[in-house]
Amino acid sequence: MTRAVLFDLDGTLADTAPDLAGTLNRMLKRRGLAPIPVDKLRPLASSGARGMIALGFGIVPGQAEYEPLRQEFFDEYESDLMGETVLFDGVITLLDAIEARGLAWGIVTNKIARFTRPLVGLLGLDVRAGCVVSGDTTPHAKPHPAPLLEAARRLTAPPEHCIYVGDDERDIQAARSAGMGAIAAGYGYLGPGAPPSAWGADHIIASPGALLDLIPPGR
C-alpha cells in the first residue's frame, strides 16, 4: 500500500541540464576553451558539479585543482539557477493526480540545500512538496538510505509504504537500502554507466505520467 511518493530532482522532476551545462561552458569560455554541447553533458547532469568538472576539465575529487573549480562552479550556477530549467512535461499533471489520490509526496536530492531551496521555490514546488531533503540534510547522500529514511520520517510514512523515483543507479540503490519501492525514470539523464534495465528497479517508466499506473488510485 503506497502512502508516499518520493522523487529525485535533477533529471526526474526538473530538466536542469541546460543550466548546469551553461555554468560549465561559461567557465570554459572564461579560460578561452571551446564550449561543450548540452547533449554531451546531459548524461552527467545528475552528478552536478562533479560530473560537469570531470568532463569539462578532466579534474576529479581528490585532485588539488578540484575544490577551487567546484567553488567557482557553485558560485556561477547560483547566479542563474533558472535560466533554462523547467519541469519535465507531465510533472504537474502527475503531482496533481498524486495529491488527488490522497498520497503524500516529497523530494530527495543530492543537490545541496544552497541550490535546492531556491530552485524548488522557483519551480513552484515548495508550497506543494511534503518535504524536501537535500544532499547535505543528513550526514550521508545517496546511495546511502539516510536521506530517503529522513523523508519518510518527515512524511510520517513507513519506508515500506514509500516509493522512490530517480534517474540514476544510486537512486535505485538508495531505495533498495531504505526498503522502499524503486522506480527508474527512464526519461531522465541515466548517467554513463549501466542501463536502467541493470539497476534492479521494480519498474522503469518512460514518462512522468506512466507512474500513475504503478500507484493506487486512492487510500
Which pLDDT score, from 0 to 100, does residue 27 have?
98
Residue from 8, 167, 168, 171 carrying the catalytic annotation: 8
Spans of the chain, pLDDT less than 50: none
Catalytic site includes residue 10:
yes
The C-alpha cell at 49 is 558539479
Tens digit of each residue's pLDDT (9 = 90 or more) over 14-41: 999 999 999 999 999 999 999 999 999 9
Query: In one letter, which amino acid is 207?
Result: S
Q: Which of 10, 15, 167, 168 is catalytic?
A: 10
Instruction: Identify the bridge partners of residue 108 per DSSP, sorted by sequence position.
Output: 133
For the chain, give every domain's residue range. Answer: 4-15+85-214, 17-78
Distance in angstroms (rounded) separating the CA atoms of residues 158 and 118: 28
Cα separation of 93 and 103, whole Å? 14
Q: What is the DSSP letter of 105?
A: E
Which helix H or strand E contains 71, and what residues bound it? helix 66-78
Q: Which CATH superfamily is domain 4-15+85-214 in?
A: HAD superfamily/HAD-like (3.40.50.1000)
The pLDDT, as a whole number, for residue 188 is: 97
- pLDDT for residue 1: 86
